[in-house]
Amino acid sequence: QQQVKQSPQSLIVQKGGISIINCAYENTAFDYFPWYQQFPGKGPALLIAIRPDVSEKKEGRFTISFNKSAKQFSLHIMDSQPGDSATYFCAATTQSGYSTLTFGKGTMLLVSP
């Protein structure tokens, strides 16, 4: 059972455009939702994260929107740059106890110059 569904699988955006990646979760016990960025040959790097007590969190060009009732959250990359080309993973976990991350399958983003 896939607990975190991510879409799209791949995405091509022009430089300066907005990249949008969506995720949906099933387990209502999840209360922490991070996004990771992974470049080829590297490990995932924590990009930004949100808790369900807020509907939006912004850090620079990256924004997470969160809809608790729909059990959905999304990553928006504003003014996308070629250097943003990477694979992005959404994840979910609980803040209590021994937290383990449940990942989506990833979105391969290509920002064309």
Partner 1 sequence: DAGVTQSPTHLIKTRGQQVTLRCSPKSGHDTVSWYQQALGQGPQFIFQYYEEEERQRGNFPDRFSGHQFPNYSSELNVNALLLGDSALYLCASSSLGGVTYEQYFGPGTRLTVT
Binding site for partner 1 (CB under 8 A): 6, 32, 34, 36, 41-46, 49, 89, 91, 93-95, 97-106
Nearer to partner 1, 28 or 113 (CB): 28
The answer to whether the beta carbons of residues 59 and 44 sit under 8 Å apart is no
32 CA to centre of own chain: 12
Nearer to partner 1, 40 or 60 (CB): 40
Minimum distance, C-beta of residue 106 to partner 1, in the bound complex (Å): 5
Minimum distance, C-beta of residue 89 to partner 1, in the bound complex (Å): 5
Minimum distance, C-beta of residue 5 to partner 1, in the bound complex (Å): 11
Nearer to partner 1, 69 or 98 (CB): 98
The answer to whether the beta carbons of residues 45 and 36 sit under 8 Å apart is yes
Name the DSSP class of 70.
Answer: T
Nearer to partner 1, 65 or 94 (CB): 94
Name the DSSP class of 42.
Answer: S
Assigned token pair, 47: 């990009």
Q: Is the dihedral of CA 51, 30, 19, 110 positive or negative?
A: positive
